[in-house]
């Protein structure tokens, strides 16, 4: 469900995701909320479902759902696990990145003489570690800047809103860097392959 939602290969801006019973779960609801989507499941045999109450003491609310409502949502547990959930939600859209690294590594090593393959591989691995650390530091810095800029205009913003604002600013900056890298890649010329 998440794969189709994140990579639907169209220009649509998805706001709501309608799924059948098998497409919904507590985890699905959590990730859709964190990623800015509304999960709208069609629950089969709703009389067999167990739903949580938003707050304790709401015994008379939602009269038509009384027979499937159970205990209240444990908001404290969500607060305790919030950072981990946000981290996982940020990773989800980038799961496919690893599939591009291996072909890129192979293509870069093909331009080296065979006796230098081991050295080239070592250089690539070192640069990947350095770039990963530098990229993480850059992303955190950009996120902090984005949160600070948002706080100047919205002094009473909630922590969740600040995280979202910082994340949006970070991804916007990273997209600009990626576009620049793509344009520079167009000027790279493939070297003659060395057979020995």
Which strand (E) or helix (H) includes residue 49? Answer: none
The CA-CA-CA angle for residues 133, 137, 139, to 5°, reads 115
The 10s digit of each residue's pLDDT in 155-174 is 787 877 888 888 888 888 88
Say what the pLDDT of residue 94 is: 67
pLDDT tens, residue by residue, 109-119: 887 888 888 88
């Amino acid at each position: 469900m998440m794969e189709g939602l994140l990579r639907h290969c169209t220009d649509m801006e998805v706001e709501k995701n309608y799924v059948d019973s098998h497409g919904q779960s507590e985890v699905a609801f959590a990730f859709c909320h964190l990623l800015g989507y509304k999960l709208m499941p069609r629950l089969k045999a709703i009389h067999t479902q167990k739903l949580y109450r938003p707050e304790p003491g709401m015994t008379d609310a939602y009269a038509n759902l009384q027979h499937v409502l159970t205990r209240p949502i444990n908001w404290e547990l969500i607060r305790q696990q919030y950072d981990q959930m946000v981290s996982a939600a940020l990773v989800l859209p980038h799961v496919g990145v690893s599939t591009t690294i291996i072909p890129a590594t192979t293509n870069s090593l093909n331009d080296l003489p065979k006796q230098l393959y081991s050295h080239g591989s070592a250089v690539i691995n070192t640069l990947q570690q350095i770039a990963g650390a530098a990229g993480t530091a850059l992303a955190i810095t950009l996120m902090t800047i984005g949160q600070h800029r948002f706080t100047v205009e919205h002094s009473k913003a909630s922590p969740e809103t600040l995280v979202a604002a910082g994340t949006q600013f970070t991804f916007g900056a990273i997209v600009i860097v990626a576009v620049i890298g793509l344009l520079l890649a167009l000027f790279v010329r493939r070297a003659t392959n060395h057979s020995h």
